[in-house]
A and B are shown apart, each in its own frame.
Chain A
Amino acid sequence: MNWELALILAWELAQMSLFAVGGATSIIPDLQRRVVENHAWASNAQFAEMLGLSQSAPGPNMLVVSLIGWKIAGFPGAIAAFIGMCGPSSVLVFSLSRFWERHRGRRWSTSLSAALAPIAIGLTLASGYLVTLGAGTSVSAGVFIGFTALATLLTKWHPIWFIGLGAAAGLAGLI
């Protein structure tokens, strides 16, 4: 079993946990930096593939770390990744939620929420840019990325259709 590797992975993710404002999309740039660039646990393309695959599954999108954890270190990796990513922030939420609720609407808490929003937006845009670099392996892939981005902005189609469409087009050798 890969418990030692799983522990290293958990520690890498735990360093992001308390700063994961805005959820899963905000962590992607740093996650990619650690998994692909620092540790070479996966290639850029594999990282994008796992991110796409995880979007075809139901549930909290934070769980993408468990898919990546499985690829890196099997079952221990999947568990460790989830605990590392969600453990510290969950403990914080658990201990702060009552306090936070009492202070709701106060100047310091509303201004903090407002202050974090633009940072989370910048991080999400960075995620989009980096994942596009990983997934845009050909001209047709680039076109499909642009099509998906625009179509989801302009229509109300469910995201799962785009994943299915991408899978079909890829299977047919078009991407």
Chain B
Amino acid sequence: MDFTAITPRELFIAFFKIGIQGFGGVLPWARRVLVEERHWFTEEEFLDAWGLAQALPGGNIINLSIGFGLRCAGPLGSSAALCGLTLAPFVIMVMLGVLYTEYGEVAGVVGLLRGVAAAGAGLVVSAGLKFAISPRLRSPLAVFAIAAFILSAFVRWPLALVLLLLAPFSWWYCWRRAK
């Protein structure tokens, strides 16, 4: 696939579709649009690009749009993909923000929000548990997960500090194991 044939306009449209459809996790929608609809990636290439985007800080689909846009059409491609991806969801967030600040204290809405918050919390808990029971967390590495949990939930350290303390040790361990 010759990526340079993909124009910023096409990038904008494809990532706009991903952004507007991506309910509850963008991964399946990104795969559908980029692999099945546009054939810009094969299945393996897509998983590869996704893994790459995940390894860097920031939202993984945001990183994917920037990296892929750059490969296709340079800085303009990056901006087109990123803007396409975030435009509609940003507008929706602002609308939610308007409704929330306007009606958040109204009697009936208070209960509704309480329910939404509980569901949202459940989803976050489940995301954590799903990862925690995955084989990726083999026993010695679990030490770093537990340390990160305690440092951020109870000691209340800033994210940067947690990472700067734990990542060097974790990296050193993984580096030695990777021999």
What class of interface size applies to chain B in its complex with A? 35 or more
Majority DSSP secondary structure for residues of B touching A = helix
Docked Cα-Cα span, A118 to B125, in Å, equals: 16
A24-B59, A59-B26 given as contacts; is B114 within 8 A of A15 (CB)?
A: no
Contacts of A86 in B (CB 8 A): 58-59, 62
Question: Is residue A123 contacting chain B, with contact meaning CB distance below 8 A?
Answer: yes
CA distance A89 to B58 in the complex (A): 6
**B62 in contact with A90 (CB, 8 Å):** yes
Interface pair B93/A52, CB less than 8 Å apart: no
Which residue of A33, A49, A51, A98 has the most chain B CB atoms within 10 A of its CB atom? A49
Q: Are B119 and A94 in contact (CB under 8 A)?
A: no
B112 pairs with A170, CB closer than 8 A: yes
Complex interface: stretch among B2-10, B31-39, B95-103: B95-103
> B: which residues have CB within 8 A of A?
19-26, 48, 51-63, 66-67, 70-71, 75, 78, 82, 85-86, 88-90, 92-94, 96-98, 100-101, 104, 108, 111-132, 136-137, 141-149, 152-153, 156, 158-160, 162-164, 166-167, 170-171, 173-175, 177-178
A residues with a Cβ closer than 8 A to B are: 15-30, 33, 37, 45-46, 48-64, 66-67, 69-71, 75, 78, 82, 86, 89-90, 92-94, 96-98, 100-101, 104, 107-132, 134-138, 141-142, 144-150, 152-153, 158-160, 162-163, 165-175
